[in-house]
Amino acid sequence: MSGMKDTDTLHLDDYLPYRLSVASNQVSQFIAKLYQDRFGLSIWQWRVLAILGAHDGLTAGEVATRAAMDKMAVSRAVSSLLSRGLIERKTSSRDARARILSLTGTGIGIYEEIAPMAREQEERLLSELSEQEIETVTNFLRALEKRATALVGKPR
């Protein structure tokens, strides 16, 4: 290790992807308390439910794209939500190969109960930040997402 320059050393506490991952996990766990204890939903199940609550009638692939989730994680979440009767899957009227996901009445009820509480938790989380700080962070995250998406699959 004596030949390594300090610039070659990866200090995780100063490494942006690591910081983003830690922050994401902490925020997700903070919000997860709303739906894990009360409804027995995993983070992945809630994300699928929330996406379908906001954008009804999507395929599992569209859900995965919107959430930037692994397709296998979406598949497991969808299977669980189907078996619990919180979502339903129908064949698309436009493409017989496509399977469209929608919330059931029970799924809508859970979504409508959790969504306002999630917004309240978001407000608690952001309460010590100014509007300018929130706007700056939001713009930064959107720009970072856009840049990462553009770089995915591009050779170095």
pLDDT level of residue 8 (50, 70, 90 thresholds): confident
| Cβ contacts of 75 within 8 Å, gap of 6 or more | 60
Residues 6+ apart with CB under 8 A from 140: none
Taken as a whole, the chain contains a residue count of 156
**Tens of pLDDT, residues 46-89:** 999 999 999 989 999 999 989 888 899 999 999 999 999 999 99
Q: Which residue blocks in the chain are alpha helix, DSSP H?
A: 16-39, 43-54, 60-67, 71-83, 105-126, 131-151
> Which pLDDT value is given to residue 3?
55
The full set of domains in the chain, from first to last, is 12-125 (1.10.10.10)
DSSP string, 38-70: HH---HHHHHHHHHHHHS-SB-HHHHHHHHT--
Give the pLDDT confidence score for residue 10 in this predicted structure: 85
Q: Read off the pTM.
A: 0.81
